[in-house]
Amino acid sequence: MTRWLAEQAWLPDHAAPTPDVLIEAEDGRFTAVTPLARGTSPQTGVEVLAEAGRLPGLTLPGLANAHSHAFHRALRGRTHGGRGDFWSWRDVMYDVAGRLDPDSYLALARAAYAEMALAGVTCVGEFHYLHHGPDGRPYDDPNAMGAALVEAAAQAGIRITLLDACYLTASVAGEPLAGAQRRFGDGDSLRWAQRVDGFRPAGPHALRGAAIHSVRAVPAEQLATVAGWAYRQGAPLHVHLSEQPAENDACRAAHGRTPAGLLADRGVLGPDVTAVHATHPTSADLALLAEHRTGVCLCPTTERDLADGIGPARLMADAGIPLSLGSDSNAVVDLFEEARAVELDERLRTRRRGHFTAAALRDAATVSGHAALGWADAGRIAVGERADLVTVRLDSPRTAGVPPVGVFFAATAADVDQVVVDGRQVVRDGRHLTVDVPAELRAAVAAVTGD
């Protein structure tokens, strides 16, 4: 039995945090959550309180990073100068993609995931398409790159949903993969499914999921194969959707409908599906996503970094579309920044304030993100849930004087002080317990970039 006494804890269905909460866990699950301000329970004696670990500040459920490309971490600070757009940025990304192998990817992902742990992330959804060797030939173990990511998450101390992405063509028109893209492809969706069937993630910290990279990368007649695999497995399915207007235009030219319309026609949309970005949907697209109870993962720091645009988050929420959050390109790893950007970007889009409550932003960063990744038993400080805790300092230069309910509008990843994943402490006093994160990031990035 492990006990913590949280100075402030944000409990489910509460609009604001609760002071003085005794939290107990055993075997990685919460067994009791007792707000002491309401009167201690008969079992809560002096000895119990004395042995409880103190959590000064605000304690939240674990944060879920629902969309990550771990290898993009090597691009941070290298792609931000000069002019261009998503398509010019992609060329630089492909250059880095061509240099990785299972060993260097393990080192880079371990450091990137440890950085996420420092930021309060207890689970990551890795949208994985870097499958084969640089020339497109499979490794002896055709899932060696995916296995490296699963092992990296274990070493960093967080959970992972490996969203194995089907990536077959270079355009909606069906152009073949070339250059660095060759290592993404399996030839066709049946061979993709055969490869994924052969992979069993090692360890209870990992789940297997699926991804359709985009309508650019999977021909229309093969979309159902990927979706069918996910549905049969009961696995989450993610897909990049309407990230740029050019994607919408190309899909209309080829198929006479938007990407969302094409996915609906091919039976892809559903309650276990998450559309990533959905930055440029039509009103009909939003209606389709809502009708099929398909979620949307917003990645505001990447969407603005790549000049993709601002998605209609409030319209999505009003339609009943579940919202989650991701760091995507990992140019920034800060779920507090992603969360408040949902509100602040909506203010820019509408020129009005007050679209999302603090509790709604918390839910997008926690319970909704975990659900999108297939971890329905995480993201809430409640009995029976996974024992994930993130404690944020309330005495930093950013949070001093801020009421606890205002943390998502004030804190940054640097204010995370303690992180517990499945009952195990991973971060203490703002430091990762097993990974020297700055040193390992420097070494792993240098190995890939040559700097």
Give me the active site residues, please.
277, 328
- What is the three-class DSSP state of 259? helix
Token pair, residue 175, equals 């152009």
Decide the pairing of beta strands 416-421 and 431-432. Answer: unpaired
Residue with tokens 């094409």: 262
**Listing from the earlier edge strand, what are the strands of the sheet with 273-277?**
63-68, 121-128, 159-166, 206-212, 237-241, 273-277, 295-298, 323-325
| Cα–Cα distance measured from residue 25 to residue 386, given in angstroms and rounded to the nearest whole number | 9
Token pair, residue 389, equals 């805790």
Cα-flanking dihedrals φ and ψ of residue 366, to 5°?
A: -125, -90
| Cα–Cα distance measured from residue 193 to residue 405, given in angstroms and rounded to the nearest whole number | 45
Backbone Cα Rg of the chain: 21
Dihedral of alpha carbons 11, 15, 17, 18, sign: negative
Cα-flanking dihedrals φ and ψ of residue 54, to 5°?
A: -80, 135
